[in-house]
Structure 1
Amino acid sequence: MEDECDYLFKAVLIGDSAVGKSNLLSRFARDEFRLDSKPTIGVEFAYRNIKVKDKLIKAQIWDTAGQERFRAITSSYYRGALGAMLVYDITRRPTFENLPKWIEELRHFGDPEIVIVLCGNKSDLAGHGIRQVDEREGRTLAERERIWFMETSALANLNVEEAFLHMITQIHDIAVRKNLEAKVGDDCDRGIAPGGGKVILNGLDCHDDEVSATKHSSCTSCINY
């Protein structure tokens, strides 16, 4: 139920058509894989609850269409997204070469602090002689763009859980930091200094209280941070 979680985080799956975005999502959300999966029309989404430290997070993952004719539709779905999984197919070089276009779109429409995970999907085919993108190329691009990288396989269920959990954990850490910064700012406005000190406002002494990232009791329901 919505009122049982601490955070609601929205993330998007992006990349060219047929790179395996839908199967990555179904593997993560339902532990399913469909060989006969059809191209996504517009956008679909799935939920999964994740425990990070002592917080229950509802991850809302949007699976966006990779076809060019749907780009005007899906661009609006970046709004409110705190994470993005950028996917290419290691057996199709054009899907890798198109990544700068996706990154540019993501930087333009996404949140300034959006967490990006680069996934080279279909790694189960690496040993079949049809790999077209070396793992080092993906890692080099990720280092240049300062994003996290991992090769995955939705079919073989390789690194799928790890990739999603890394993204969600990083979003959580940013949310906690922002909560802490907001509380520190509120405390300073009220004359409370972080770190156990005190400040002087209009000649009045205000003692500090403990600064933490814990939300007030009125904020225990899901929020779209």
Structure 2
Amino acid sequence: MASSVLVAQAVTIIYGVVVGIYALIVYLARKTAGMKTLLFGVSSFLYFLLSFIVSLFDSSQKAGLVMSVIGLSCFIILFTVLIIKLRSWRDIICGSLTLICWIIVIVVLLKVIILGDSGVGKTSLMNQYVNKKFSNQYKATIGADFLTKEVLVDDRLVTMQIWDTAGQERFQSLGVAFYRGADCCVLVFDVNVLKTFENLDSWRDEFLIQASPPDPDKFPFVVIGNKIDLDSRTVSPKRAEAWCQSKGGLEYFETSAKEATNVEQAFQTIARNALKREQEPDMIFPNEDTFKIPENEEIDAPPKKSGCC
């Protein structure tokens, strides 16, 4: 998906510049047939220029919504003009190319799943990153929830869909459908609670079993040690980094959702890893064995009951 999106962005901008210049020359020569071509080409280029400028100053959901509305408005206006004043096949081709490129670029989605024990701060990290907010009131996540945010990654504007999951045992088995299509998995623990760190192995194994990525050893995981603002640390940075190295050199960040320490940096790395995952050839043309399921494997089996209520 991401490779085709990158090509679409380049093609659309080049198309906008070339067709815009050509149409301007034709229009200045007083040949009115170039007017609609000028409209399509220049508007295409200006839309992406505006998207880039907006992303530099505001990468929040509001910015993404504004750009989506602008894009949709352009579709409606331009094609209304085209349908009402249809004069040549050149107009149809110019309009269709613009629309196709816009649609391909708009549908850019990176799915990120956050896993970890209950109370480690998964929801707080997500809210701090997306909404720049933190709440001291603890409210356990029921099942799963997600937020989206448009971010600029290596000069690419992409949409991150960040899934927050419940850490309680009765919600751990969310089913294959939930994990399918993930581009990056974030493992979170509380640096002040040793048990949450020790459970990272089970969370990682749970994800690999459910998601069944084509190459588990290369799937991007990012580990976050949260709540470094507290003074009761039980997991040292050295120990956490050693665990990450033992799993193939996973990237590790220590954060404070409360004070917004390293949250932005961690999610930038998460987005970059997710985008890299999307660009892998296996993601576009998966092997035949990728989606095979063993005959004796249970799908979406009911989770085992917890010993406590």
TM over 0.5: yes
- 204, 218, 222: which one pairs with 1:117? 222
1:161 aligns with 2:259: no
State the shift of 1:170 in Å: 1.5
- 129, 146, 152: which one pairs with 1:51? 152
Bigger proportion of residues as helix: 2
Identify the residue that residue 178 of structure 1 maps to in structure 2.
Answer: 281
Distance change >3 Å, CA 176–CA 41, structure 1 → 2: same
State the shift of 1:155 in Å: 0.5
Name structure 2 gaps, 5 residues minimum.
1-67, 72-102, 286-309
Mapped partners of 2:111, 2:239: distance in 1: 28
Counterpart residue identity of residue 72, structure 1 = S
State the shift of 1:179 in Å: 8.7
User: Residue deviations 1:28-48, cap 9 Å, x none?
Assistant: 111111110300000010000
1:17 aligns with 2:118: yes
Name structure 1 gaps, 5 residues minimum.
183-225
Q: 2:239 is paired with a residue of what secondary structure?
A: helix
TM-score by length of 2: 0.54
Q: CA RMSD in A?
A: 2.1
State the shift of 1:115 in Å: 1.5
Q: 2:229 is paired with a residue of what secondary structure?
A: helix
Counterpart residue identity of residue 39, structure 1 = A
1:140 aligns with 2:242: yes
TM-score by length of 1: 0.74
Mapped partners of 2:276, 2:107: distance in 1: 13
Q: Work out which structure has the larger RCO, using CA pairs closer than 8 Å and 6 or more positions apart in sequence.
A: 1
Counterpart residue identity of residue 117, structure 1 = V
Q: 2:145 is paired with a residue of what secondary structure?
A: strand
Could you tell me the percent identity over the aligned residues?
Answer: 34
Identify the residue that residue 15 of structure 2 maps to in structure 1.
Answer: none
Distance change >3 Å, CA 68–CA 181, structure 1 → 2: closer
Moved over 6 A (4+): 179-182
**More deviation in 43-52 or 169-178?**
169-178
Counterpart residue identity of residue 167, structure 1 = I
How many residue pairs get matched? 179
